[in-house]
Amino acid sequence: MPSKIENGGEPFFAGRLSKPMSELLRQNNEAPRLVWEQKNMSHILQVDLAHAVMLQEQGLITRQQACDLVKALQGISKGGQFVTKDGYGSMVLQIEGHVAKQIGEDTAGRLAIARSRLDQGATVWRLSAKAQMRDITEELARLQDTLLSVAARYSATPSINYTHLQQAQPATFGHYLLAFRDRLQDSFDALTQIYERVDRCPLGGVGLSGTDFDIDRHRTASLLGFAEVLDNSRLCRDSYYQVEIMSALAMMMIYLNDLCTDLHIYSSNEFNTIELDDSHTSTSSIFPQKKNPYALETIKAKAAEAMGWTTTAFAIFRNEGTGDTGARSVSQLDGARDTCIAMLRLTAEVIDGLSVNEERYESLLEGAWVTTNRLSNILLAEFGMSYRSAHGVVARLVKNCLTKGIPKTAVTVDMLQAAAREMDVDPISITQEGLTLALDHKAFIHNSRSFGGVGPDQVERMESLARAKNSANHQWVAGKELKSIEAIKELDAVCAKLQQSSS
């Protein structure tokens, strides 16, 4: 005799509990979960269909039962009449109840064979996480393209590197942007590594200990597009990967914050070395002269929010051991995904639209003492001076010139010799031409030959390598997306063949 555990009859808890879930508990537990499941309905139905196909292939349900299940489930996916009902549990139970009204409770209930909400839900989470990571890495790769494109535009544009926010050495703006492209490569690599760990199918782990039914977990993994099966059934509900994802995304937002903080400073009137496109700024309600960098401030504010993601994720996976599986889900993951995609896009817009004030950089470099490191190296390499003596003499030269208001362009050999005497160093036989060239920022950049440096040959090499890596990144995303699409097509084809053979 059927038991009416269906959507419209008695709710699923009636066999064990005498009361339904309190309304307050439902609002704060079941209702938010159903909202998330409704957003991921396509993944839920994908899991249900793959499971039904596998059960039939293993002889655990009849061909007709499988056909009835497939038809009812596909009806939901095609926009059939399906409404969730308060108090009837998670989506898997709501779907079972809906399907039972169409094909009967006996057949509908067989979808629960060799499966629990633990492994079913965990499989849906992983499908959702994989899709989110593909979306994020796609936008990340696009930002890297933009950084490379703009870096190439300014590959030979002299700029300044700062340490302690003090002028340190000459650089090029292209070299600067390439550094952020490479830094974001770390984020891309981290996400792809995490993806490989997420890409393991937990379906069939059942209630953590497996089942005595003869199921084929590799078949369902294949139909769902997973690379492999999650081996130990005890780990079927494991979701520590969510902490890894949140950590990687928070780190990526830190990189965006670093870039935008630099640009925020560089765009100020005091620096005036870059300017944002008007579309990424706003004006003041009281100060007519201002051009406020709203886009940079928006990205930095979102990056500040991201600093709480990892802490929240770790707090959810608190020290309760592995038995409290119901609490282990980071609900902020969807929001983090949306934030990251939006900020990656906005950052790309900002970078593509900015302009570099090359005249301002040239003016700063003419007066900046950013080439003194090269002068010290020349004194060491060509005139036999010890490292510390060379450093001391050049430092004294800079001090004397600053004290007397002498610009770098007016430095003479006599001034260098005076600094040497003050530091008890023997006279230096450098020529005026050699001294002037040693302090020239263009010569500094041209002679920077070390691997990864700002010299033109190295920047060209790094641009070439970045193009290859960017191409590989896009290929990775496209490959994972294609595998997901092919799995859906295969599942659809198997379901269609199953229905044709029964008709």
Q: DSSP string of 102-141?
A: HH-HHHHHGGGTT--HHHHHHHHHHHHHHHHHHHHHHHHH
The owner of tokens 């038995």 is: 323
Q: Are 178 and 143 in a shared domain?
A: yes
Task: At 10, give phi and psi (nearest 5°).
Answer: -75, 140
Same domain, 417 and 293: no
* Residue 216 counted as domain residue: no
* Residue 447 included in any domain: no
CATH of the domain at 68: 1.10.275
On whether both 23 and 76 belong to a single domain, the answer is: yes
Torsion sign over Cα 112, 115, 120, 123: negative
Would you say 127 and 50 are in contact if contact means Cβ atoms under 8 Å apart? no
Q: Which residues contact 266 (CB under 8 A, 6 or more apart)?
A: 273, 274
pLDDT reported for residue 3: 36
| 251: three-class secondary structure by DSSP | helix
Domain membership of residue 459 (yes or no) is no
Q: What is the DSSP letter of 323?
A: S
Number of domains in the chain: 3
**Within-domain flag for 44:** yes
Tally of CA atoms within 13 A in the half-sphere of 355 that contains its CB: 8
- CA torsion sign, 445 to 449 to 452 to 457? positive
Q: Are 16 and 100 contained in the same domain?
A: yes
- Looking at the structure, do residues 60 and 80 belong to the same domain, yes or no? yes
Asked if residue 476 is part of any domain, the answer here is yes
| Tokens 């993951």 sit on residue | 333
In a domain, 208, yes or no: no
Residues 101 and 153 placed together within one structural domain of the fold: no
Longest Cα–Cα distance in the chain: 108
Is the dihedral angle over the CA atoms 343, 348, 353, 357 positive or is it negative?
positive
Give the range of the structural domain holding residue 381, as residue numbers without chain letter: 372-439
Cα 161 from Cα 31, distance rounded (Å): 53
* pLDDT score recorded for residue 22: 87
Whether residue 329 sits in one domain with residue 291: yes
Residues sharing a CB contact under 8 Å with residue 41, sequence separation 6 or more, in sequence order: 76, 77, 91
- Considering the domain architecture, whether residues 62 and 181 belong to the same structural domain is answered as no
The residues with which 201 forms a beta bridge, in sequence order, are 229
Tokens standing for residue 211: 């089942």
For residues 120 and 136, the answer to whether their CB atoms sit within 8 Å is no
157-193 burial string, b = 16+ CB within 10 Å, else e?
Answer: bbbbebeeeebbbbbbbbbbbbbbbbbbbebbebbbe
Residue 204 lies in a domain: no
Q: Is residue 207 classed as helix, strand or coil in its secondary structure?
A: coil
Q: Answer yes or no: are the C-beta atoms of 343 and 250 closer than 8 Å.
A: no
Do residues 58 and 214 make contact, with C-beta atoms less than 8 angstroms apart? yes
Query: In tens digits, what is the pLDDT along the chain, a chain of 503 residues?
Result: 333 444 445 666 777 888 888 888 888 878 888 888 889 999 999 999 999 999 999 999 999 999 999 999 999 988 767 888 777 778 988 899 899 999 999 999 999 999 998 899 999 999 999 999 999 999 999 999 999 999 999 999 999 999 999 999 999 999 999 999 999 999 999 999 999 999 999 999 998 899 999 999 999 999 999 999 999 999 988 888 999 999 999 999 999 999 999 999 999 999 999 999 999 999 999 998 999 999 999 999 999 999 999 998 888 887 556 665 555 678 889 999 999 999 999 999 999 999 999 999 999 999 999 999 999 999 999 999 999 999 999 999 999 999 999 999 999 999 999 999 999 999 999 999 999 999 999 999 999 999 999 999 999 999 999 999 999 999 999 999 999 999 999 999 999 999 887 66
Is residue 453 included in any domain, yes or no? Answer: no
Q: What was the pLDDT predicted at 327? A: 53
Distance, CA of 65 to CA of 70 (rounded, Å):
9
280: left (phi over 0), alpha (psi -120 to 50) or beta: alpha
Q: Which residues contact 170 (CB under 8 A, 6 or more apart)?
A: 158, 159, 160, 161, 365, 370, 371, 441, 442, 444, 445, 454
Question: Do both 250 and 296 map to the same domain?
Answer: yes
Name which of 243, 250, 274 is nearest 260 in CA terms: 274
Residue 478 and residue 494 share a domain: no
**CA–CA distance, 430 with 46 (Å, rounded to integer):** 77
Alpha-carbon distance 297 to 424, whole Å?
51
In this structure, the answer to whether residues 342 and 384 fall within a common structural domain is no
β partners of residue 159: 171
> Nearest CA to 193 among 251, 152, 232, 119?
251
- d(CA 314, CA 309) in angstroms, rounded, equals 9
User: What is the CB-side half-sphere exposure of residue 480 using CA atoms within 13 A?
Assistant: 25
Could you tell me the pTM of the whole model?
0.92
- By residue count, the chain amounts to 503
DSSP string for 270-286: TT--EE--GGG-B--SS
- Residue 406 gets which letter from DSSP? -
Measured distance CA(215)–CA(59) in Å, rounded:
9
Q: What is the CATH number of the domain that holds 322?
A: 1.20.200.10
Provide the 10 A C-beta neighbour count for residue 27: 12
Residue-wise DSSP of 420-473:
HHHTT-------HHHHHHHT-HHHHHHT--STTSSSHHHHHHHHHHHHHHHHHH
Please give the Cα distance from 334 to 330 (Å, whole number): 9
Same domain as 182, residue 323: yes
Task: Give CA torsion, residues 215, 219, 223, 229, to 10 deg.
Answer: 90
Is the Cβ–Cβ distance between 274 and 355 less than 8 Å? yes
CA distance 12 to 88: 6
